[in-house]
Structure 1
Amino acid sequence: MAQNVTPTKSNLMATQKSLALAKMGYNLLDKKRNVLIKEMMGLLDDVKLIRDQITDKYNLAYHALQEANISLGIISDIVEDVPVDYGIHVKYRSVMGVELPRIDYEESKLNLDYGFEQANSKVDYAYKCFSDVKELTVKLAEIENSVYRLANAIRQTSTRSNALKNISIPQFEKTVKMISESLEEKERESFSVQKVIKSQKERAQ
């Protein structure tokens, strides 16, 4: 549906400019969407890989914890002595204006604060298994959050590009056509009037 504008040359030029900008905006949004989709598809492969790894690690860690509990009884007192890990730092990188998290994880050394009289090698092994789980969990959190942000950005970009492609650009094109046809019709009418006036002057002479 053409916009309701007065068919003048200035409005024609303004609408043509708006049409050109709309097409440029659509091309940029389409390129952005393609880049974001490519980025997300690469991360989805990583998500599947890490999820498989983390499932295996969790099974191994809980089995190790069970073995430690069997060898020493419930080890809740030992667990409370495990230090809090503050080695996680979140930074961000920008992909086509989308801020994606980048988690820097400084893996702490195996620093056990509980005494040897409280524990044994099974407890140490369980601690190590859960440390591996923690590292994979950090990686999975980074990637899944990035995928979520990319998916939202792709959806928003698609909505905007589709609005330009299916609504704005066709409206501008119809308006340009309407104004152009109106101006051409006026020119033909003006030309016909001028011919009639010229003919009348020639007869009068």
Structure 2
Amino acid sequence: MPSNTDIRPTRLEYLRTKKRIKIAKKGLKLLKLKRQALILEFFSISKASSRLRGELNAELIKGYQSIRMAEMIDGEMRLENEAMKIPQLKKLLITPKNVMGVKIPRLEGGRREESLTDYLLEIPVSISEAMKAFQEVHKIVLDVAEKETTLRKLLYEIDKTKRKANAIENVFIPRLESAVKFITFRLEEMERDTFAMLKTVKRKMEEREKKKVEATVIAN
């Protein structure tokens, strides 16, 4: 934003600056609405994340209990041997998705190349239950990771939007309004100067006309 000395005190500049103020206020309103929407989305996802963390803790307890049970029933060696036979997981894919204008990484994949259904039928029930429990843990961990990443990105966007709104509201718009006041003052000042100059010219013309009349009267 230029200083007052760089502002051209013209009617066109006045209209242009007023238009910029109008646009800036509209943009400020949109930024505030966006920030409000982001905050609502943040709390919604935060609530979901908190619920998932509770589920994760419950599933972890269940998973470790099922492992201890499997060790007691089938032995540690059998448990380790069966664990080595579990099919490998697919490669985890990270794809972007849009949440309130914010790009969030979406976690996809992480599943096994082949179903465990047939495999689980061939092993002891205790070990099968342990595997099922940790399958659920794996799923919830991915969901929690996605939600936590979303929360961090939303928080960053909320802060960035707030800073933009504050800059427009407390710096940009006041400067434009100051420029309008300066232009208005200079236009009024120029108008007064022009009016005073016209009065002076009119007075001098009247005096000149009066002298001509007097000179004519004297000559006659």
TM-score grouping bracket, smaller chain normalisation: 0.7 to 0.9
CA shift for structure 1 position 39: 1.4
Deviations 1:20-47 (A, max 9, x none): 3322322222222122112112111101
Indicate the SS of the match to 1:8: coil
Alignment CA distance shift 1:184-1:107 (3 Å): same
After TM superposition, list the pairs within 5 Å mapping 1:1-205 onto structure 2.
3-4=3-4, 5-9=6-10, 10-71=12-73, 72-74=75-77, 75-86=79-90, 89-104=93-108, 109-111=115-117, 113=119, 116=122, 119-205=123-209
Checking the alignment, whether the CA contact within 8 Å between 1:68 and 1:122 is kept in structure 2 is yes
Flag the 1:150–1:198 CA change in 2: closer, same or farther, 3 A.
same
Range 32-41 or range 101-110, more displaced: 101-110
Cα deviations across residues 123-162 of structure 1 (Å, max 9, x unaligned)? 1110011111112112212222211211111111111111
Higher relative contact order (CA 8 A, sep 6+): 1
Note the C-alpha offset of 1:86.
2.0
Unmatched segments (≥5 aa) in structure 1: none
Q: Deviations over 1:98-137 (max 9, x none)?
A: 1123445697643464895xx5211111001111111211
Structure-2 separation of matches of 1:139 and 1:87: 16
Moved more, 127-136 or 68-77: 68-77
Larger proportion of helix:
2
Runs of 4+ in 1 over 6 A off after TM superposition: none
In the aligned structure 2, how far is the partner of 1:65 from the partner of 1:153? 42
Quick check: which has more Rg, 1 or 2?
A: 2
SS where residue 100 of structure 1 aligns? strand
Contact 1:19 1:172 in 2 (8 A): yes
The answer to which of 133-142 and 94-103 deviates more is 94-103
Corresponding residue pairs, total: 203
Runs of 5+ consecutive residues of structure 2 not aligned to the other structure: 210-220
Residue 188 and residue 78 in structure 1: after superposition, are their counterparts in 2 closer, same or farther (change >3 A)? same
Q: TM-score, normalised by structure 2?
A: 0.80
TM-superposed CA distance for 1:97, in Å, is 2.4
Q: CA RMSD in A?
A: 2.6
